[in-house]
Amino acid sequence: MNVVISGLAVVSPFGLGTGPFAAGWRAARPAVSPGEAPPVARLPELTGDDFTPNRRVRLKERSSALAVGTVGALLAAYDLGDVPAARRGVVLGSALASLDSYLAVSGGSLAGAKPHFIDHNLMPPGIMNYTSSQAAIRFDLRGPNVTVTSGRATGLTALGCARRLVAAGRADAVLAGAFEAISPRRLRLETAADRAPALTGEGCCVFLVETAESAERAGRRVLATPLALTAGYFPEPDEGRAALHRVVTRALRQAGVTAGDVATVVRGAAAPGRYADDETAVLADVLPGVRVLDPATRVGDTYGASAAFGVAAALVEADTEPSAGVTLVTSIDPDGQVACAVLAPGSRVPIPVG
C-alpha cells in the first residue's frame, strides 16, 4: 500500500491560502508585520467563519480558528465527497495551543476569591483535543480523531500518525497538520526561556493523506510520497547532535535512498544557537553539498508548526523546480525531540492556489 500526500492547505503570514504562501516562498522574502517590536510575521485577524460560515462551532481561541479555518480551506480545494464521513480522519497538533486559555484558568484560580471561581468559558479551549474536535464537528469528520504534540517536530508527528492510520486501514483519508499562533504570553515565555527567535511567526499547514490508489480514483494528484518518517528523543542537551544523526541516517535507510539521491533539505532549527549548529553539523556530515532551505527566514519561527511548514515548503519547491531527487525535512527541538521525513516528489501538475 502506497500512502501519499495528495492535498495541501496553508495559512501563513503571507496571507490566507496556499497561493500567497507559494508566491511568498518563491519570492524568497520574509513576511514581516510592519511596526512590530520585536519583529513578527503575523497573520491578519481572523475567525473560523472567515473560511467556514456553514456551521456554527464555538471557537474561543485564535489558534483554534486558525487551524479549523485551514482544514476548511483544504476541504474547499479538494472534494472528499467520494470518502464516507466515517472514513475521514483528522490529526492536528501544536506545541503551545490553548496557552492563553489554560494560563488564564490557572491565574483565575489563584486570583479569585476561591480556587473554583474561574471563567468556565475558558475551559473547553484549554483542553488538548479541543481544536481537532471542533474541526471534526464542523466538517463531519467521523473517522479517527487524534491530537499530537511534540514541540517543533509536531508537524512530522502528525503526518506520521496519519500515514499509519491510512496504512492500517483505519481511515481512507486523513487531514493532518500543525498550527501555532502568536500571543503575548508565547512571546514572553520564549524570551524568559532565552529562546526568542530573530523573527517570530505563526500559521497552519494541513495535508491530505490517503493511498495512491484512492487519489487516482478521485482524480487527485500525488504531491509527494513519504518514504520514511522517523523520530527520536535526547534527554540531555549535548546529546542532540547524535540523536539527530541517528534519526536522519535511519530515515535514509528506511526509505532505501542514499545521500546522492537527496536534492534538498528543509531544516527545522529556527534561530542561531547550539541546536542550529548541531543540525548544520549533522547535515554537513550526512549530506555534504546538498542545498539547505530554512522556512524560518521567510515565515518566522512558527514553533509547533515549523516542521509542517518544512513539508509545505518542500512541496512548493518540488512544484517550482522539478527534480529527480528526494527532499529531507528535519526537526530538532530544545526540549529533546528530533524527527526526519524523506519525501519523494509527486506529479508535475501545479498545486492549486485556492
Would you write out the chain's pLDDT as a tens digit for each of its 354 residues?
799 999 999 999 998 889 999 999 999 888 887 777 677 888 866 654 555 555 454 556 788 888 998 999 999 999 999 999 999 999 999 988 777 766 666 766 777 777 777 776 666 776 788 899 999 999 999 999 999 999 999 999 999 999 999 999 999 999 999 999 988 777 887 777 666 677 889 999 999 999 999 999 999 999 999 999 999 999 999 999 999 999 999 999 999 999 999 999 999 877 778 899 999 999 999 999 999 999 999 999 999 999 999 999 999 988 777 666 899 999 999 889 999 999 998 754 444 444
d(CA 354, CA 350): 12
CA distances for 103 relative to 125, 141, 183, angstroms = 11, 30, 12
Helix (H, G, I), strand (E, B) or coil at 281: helix
Residue positions counted in the chain: 354
Nine-digit cell string for 227: 518514504
Cβ contacts of 172 within 8 Å, gap of 6 or more? 83, 84, 87, 88, 143, 166, 210, 211, 214
Sign (positive/negative) of CA torsion 178, 228, 276, 41? negative
Listed residue (300, 310, 304, 303) closest to 198, CA to CA: 300
Please choose, from the candidates 10, 80, 51, the residue with its C-alpha nearest in 3D space to the C-alpha of residue 316: 10
Q: How far is CA 221 from CA 216, 331, 345, in A?
A: 7, 27, 11
In the chain, at which residue ranges do the beta strands (DSSP E only) sit?
A: 3-12, 15-16, 40-41, 88-93, 145-148, 173-180, 200-201, 203-211, 224-233, 262-266, 291-293, 326-332, 337-345
- Sketch out the chain's domains with CATH numbers: 3-218 (3.40.47.10), 226-345 (3.40.47.10)
* pTM reported for the whole predicted model: 0.91
CB 220 within 8 A of CB 6: yes
